[in-house]
Structures are given as C-alpha cells and as structure tokens.
Structure 1
C-alpha cells in the first residue's frame, strides 16, 4: 500500500527485535515518511480499514487480514516535559530512530527482510546489551517511564552475566525524582510486565540500588524475590507477577500501582495466606492448589527456607477434598448461629485430621459440641 505509491515503509521496534531474537511477535509497527492523512487516503483506496488511533501524533492503525498494523509517520521531538513530547513529522528514518529509547528498539526492516540499523543497535541486540540511544539522561528526561522500561527490557532481553550499563544506571539514579510525574497506572503496568519476566530479580535489585524501588514502593524489600524465582523454577511454576509483587512487600501496593480489583484481591489473599497458620492441606482446601502453592513458595522464600517436603502434595490433597457434612445433617440439633458455629467447628476438626474423618465420625463428634 505504501511502497507502491513511492513511500518508505519500515517495520520497526519490538516486531523487528523479537523476530531477530526468535521470540514471539505480538504487535506490528510500521514507520513511514507518508503523513497520516496520506496513510488514511491510501488505506481507503486499497479497501482496508484505517482507524485514526493517534492521528494527531502521526499514528494510524490499518487492519489487513484481521491483523492491526500501527503505522506512524517518521517523527522528531521538538519539545518534551518528561511525560509527553511535542513532535514534528520528518522525511528521514534517522530522525525517527534518535527519538526512540534503546538502541535495540531502533531497528527497522524492509518488507524483504533487510535490516536498517541507523544507530548500531544490531550489535547491541546480538550481545543482549541494553543501551539508551545517545545520552541516557536526555532520553530519560524525555519520558521518565523509560527508567522502568530499562529494567523491564533488561529483565526480558538483557544478558544477566554482563550486568547493566553503568552510564544508564548513573543516569537513572540521578533522575528518580522524575518518577513522581508518572501516573500510577503507567507505573503499575510496567511493574507487572517486569515481574512477569523469567527472572526479574537482578533488575529489581538494580532498582533498589538506584533508589527506584524505594521511590515507587516505600517499604518494599526484594530479598525474597530471588529465592521465590528459584523455587518457582524448581517445581516448574510459571511466572506470576502478583505472587512476586507480594514477595516485595511494602505498604499500599495496590494503591501505589493502581492494581485492578482482581489483582488487588489476589495480592491481599496471598499476603493473608503467608501470615496465616494454615497447614498446606488447609491452604489447598480453602484456596485451591495454585494459590496454595504460591503461598507455600512465598513462605519459604521469605523465611529463606527450602520448601517443606510433601507440602505441595498436601495442598493438592486439600484442594481435592470435599467436606462431607451439610447443614441439613445438623438441623435436628442446631439452628441459626449455633448451626454455623457447629459446622465451622466440625470443619476445623476434619481439616486437622488431614481430611480423614468420615461423615459418621464427624456426626458423632457433633454430639460433643
């Protein structure tokens, strides 16, 4: 659509980076010298659905074969305030590359697969080296969210053996005050993506050392995170950002990160489970195997202890157990609040027996209540 009418059309950013790293591509972004109104015009002529998703910033989403392609005109920054930028359209891919965040994200590709590398990002990508484009402080002051993006991208794409770029860390440490300008929703989204990485512990440790973690989550402590990640790996558990967030602790996490109601409830449930005295079997019975497993891993990680032998098996047993007593079984002797109290007492005895007491034994025990 673009090239046949004389315009440049270059795949850019994550789709190029991920393709080169042989990991799944989620979004398709295209950069072009065509102005957004021209993109809309060409899409209409081609019979394609064009949506002006961010046309004032140069972005049009064109849907082809049910796949959305975000097409953005080459841009250069005119003015920034740390949250948003005033941009001007450009005819040059080099201008567009210089306004991006990291060199590995400033890689472009033509339709035939030829990589266009204006800033030397390909060598950084091959080395899994995350580096800000040009001056790190300038890039951060253009958008302070790039501080969190640095740690998130390093957790997903960086080489942990090589560590982090000292210039980047120094620039981050010098600009933590700018984090206050970010919305809690943006911060929360980045934190969840970071904590969903295979092993976010080194990145979160660097956040602590640069002052970022304490700035965003006062009272948070990352000491339990690395043991938790190790325990997850040892039993083949998939990364759970909410479980990992719970390991960090800190006050008012739900508010600080604007968690969804569902995520906040899960975080509170895990926190309460860690603080409780429930046995592994009781946790499985009350919360199901997966949540019980997360609580057990959190307990072990926070106490820096190995996971108790057979704990997960006990949680699995509890999750499959079904309390054999029903209210109707006791209504001949208990009513109202007394019925609820009796059911609760019998259930506690049944759980304490590791779910072995039969219905007959429990009914017999009810005579003693």
Structure 2
C-alpha cells in the first residue's frame, strides 16, 4: 500500500478541512498535483481536495467550522476554504456531460471513479485519504508515476478532443516531470499528431499561460523539439524555431530558467500577440531579440542594459552560434554596468537646447563608450 508521508499532509490546517467533511459523513480526498508531487518528492504547491459533498454543503460546513468559504468556482463545483490562513480548493466529484475541445459541461458525481475518468493523465488521477493512503482508481497512475511516464487516461484522442489544451499540458508535464531518457509514449504522440489542429481553437491567453509554464521547466528542450516535430509548436507560436533552445538550456547552467529569455531564442512571427504577453514581458522580449542581433560590444550592453539583462543577451548570442559563453565578455559586461556617463544636460546648457542638446549628448556618449569609458567629463566637454 502506497502512502504519502510528506509533512504537509499531517499539518493541522489540511487535516481540519478534511475532518470538516468526513465528520459530516462525506468523503475528503487529496487529489491531483499535490498527490503527484508528494510522491515524486518535489515541493507541493496548491492543495486540492475532492469530495462527494455538493458546493452549498461545503460552504455550510465551512461556516459551521468557523472557516471562511469563498465560491471561487461554484458553477463548476469548486469552493475555496480558508483554514489557518491557508487556501484549499474543494471540488465536488464531477463527470463530463458534454465537451467541445475548449470547455466542458459537467454534472456532479457521487463516486471518485467517475471523477477520475474525466481527468487528463493517469498520474494526475491519484487520490489520497487524509491518512495518506494513496488511491489509484484508473489503475495505471502509480505505475506511470514510478516510471515518470505521462499517458492520457483511456483513449488519448478522446481525452484531447475534450480539451485541446491537453496537448500543451502533455508537453509541459513531460518537461517538468517526465523521464527524458525514456522518451514519450508513442500512442500518445500519435493521438497528438492526429488532433494537433485543435490548438487553433484555443484562446491565445490559455496557450500563452501554458507556454510560460512549459518554458519555466528546468529543461524543456526535448518537449519543445517534439512539439516542433508534431506541428504543435508552429500552431502555438507561429514561426518559432526550436533548434536554439537546447544549446541555450545547456549554457544556462546555474542561471534560473526564464521563459522570456527562452522565447527570445525560439523566435516567432509575433510572440507577444501569439502568447498574449504582458507589456513588460513584450518589452523584455523585444529588447533581448534586438540586442542579441546587434553589433554592440558586451561593455556597451552592460552599460545600457545592466549586468543581468546583458548576461541573458550574451547567453542568447552564444546559443545562437552554438558557442560557449565567453567569461571575458561577462567581465566586460559587468564593468560596463558599473559605468556612469560623466556629462549631464546641464553641462551643455544654455549654449545648447532642444534637439541639438539631445544629439550632442548622444554623440558624446558614443565617443565615451568607444573610448572604453576612459574619457572624463572635461575631455568630453572639449569635444562638444
């Protein structure tokens, strides 16, 4: 019998929430990511609970127990219960009534088995009792988890047609948790290739959110390469090229994953629109793409963009040409980042103003950079 022994499951808050349900005669089962991650010994984020109690009953029980209940997704059976300041999403068992590839019409169910069959992957359909005992209602989740193998529940094509975002979720989960040496399950890849055009029916917001998560994995290169082979990448990010991602990931070494940096190496026709990037993300991406193609030296890049962004630019340049990162270039970038232009606008006024003032400042700055930052204020003003 498999049991979860992670510390979080025995803490007072999750146990109190489960007791709120079980003492009223209802089931309370931890489900999904928290169970999967606990068994994989990776940090657990959100703690989700499945129950046979209907949402209105969950809210009433929470109030009686002195807990705050928020109807965050009551139409879909989800109530967020706050216990000791910690949120828990409690969702009533459900079964699909109708799906169209983007959203599902669901009905409440009384059995965990029905709830499990509407989930996506076998290892995401694992449940755990409050005492940590793990339940595997589809019969394959534990075995697949042990092998870090992602498979859809039952017919993969049917699971995909229920929600085409599951294609991108498959590649994201494989990047985060899959065994890269074992590769991907052939039946699953065949179903993805058959249904891949369904990605076009998804909103760009959903695609963008999933791609960010994928590109935040430690090493998403294999997943993205297979996405390119089956046509999913070009639908999610038109014009993208996966070839530079592997070299970039290799060069990043101890640098934390950054989805925007990785987007820069993938390219694409209009990634900001395709993935609905925020304005800040779009600005960062545009800067990285422009700078990696510019002739500016590392010292100038460091001065203009700071050491961190310049490190990213140098990583992208090295990955583009499949070269090692030059440590001398990084030193030059850090030195440039420490420089402060010695001439201020007030130094040139009132003799110069308006566009002439701006043009002269830019010319003097370029001269100062070309000198290796050696010209001082007096020398620069003599050239004004």
C-alpha offsets along residues 20-73 of structure 1, whole Å, 9 cap, x if unaligned? 112111111100011111111111111111111111211111111111111011
C-alpha offsets along residues 70-90 of structure 1, whole Å, 9 cap, x if unaligned? 101111112111111111211
Higher mean Cα deviation, 301-310 or 279-288? 301-310
- 8 Å CA contact 2:238, 2:274 repeated in 1: no
Give the Å deviation of 1:218. Answer: 2.0
The yes-or-no answer on 1:60 pairing with 2:79 is yes
C-alpha offsets along residues 193-234 of structure 1, whole Å, 9 cap, x if unaligned? 00000001000000001110112222110111111111111x
> How far apart in 2 are the matches of 1:70 and 1:332?
65
Please state whether the residue corresponding to 1:288 is helix, strand or coil. helix
Q: 2:163 aligns with which of 136, 140, 143?
A: 143
Report what 2:66 is aligned to. 47
Q: 2:28 aligns with which of 9, 21, 28?
A: 9
Please state whether the residue corresponding to 1:175 is helix, strand or coil. helix
Give the Å deviation of 1:293. Answer: 0.9
The yes-or-no answer on 1:203 pairing with 2:218 is no
The unaligned stretches of length 5 or more in structure 1 are: none
> How far apart in 2 are the matches of 1:361 and 1:253?
45
Q: 2:107 aligns with which of 80, 88, 104?
A: 88
Give the Å deviation of 1:331. Answer: 2.3
Give the Å deviation of 1:333. Answer: 4.3
> How far apart in 2 are the matches of 1:166 and 1:308?
40
Report what 2:276 is aligned to. 258
Report what 1:221 is aligned to. 241
The unaligned stretches of length 5 or more in structure 2 are: 1-19
Give the Å deviation of 1:332. Answer: 5.8
The yes-or-no answer on 1:127 pairing with 2:147 is yes
Report what 2:302 is aligned to. 284
Report what 1:346 is aligned to. 364
Give the Å deviation of 1:357. Answer: 1.8
Q: 2:124 aligns with which of 105, 113, 116?
A: 105
- Using the size of structure 2 for normalisation, the TM-score is 0.92
Please state whether the residue corresponding to 2:243 is helix, strand or coil. coil
Report what 2:212 is aligned to. 192
- Displaced runs of 4 or more, over 6 A: none
Please state whether the residue corresponding to 1:318 is helix, strand or coil. helix
> What RMSD over aligned residues (CA atoms) do the two structures have, in Å?
1.2
> How far apart in 2 are the matches of 1:133 and 1:69?
25
Give the Å deviation of 1:91. Answer: 1.4
- Using the size of structure 1 for normalisation, the TM-score is 0.96
Report what 1:78 is aligned to. 97
C-alpha offsets along residues 321-348 of structure 1, whole Å, 9 cap, x if unaligned? 1011112222264333222222111111
C-alpha offsets along residues 123-151 of structure 1, whole Å, 9 cap, x if unaligned? 21121111111111011001000000000
> How far apart in 1 are the matches of 2:359 and 2:275?
39
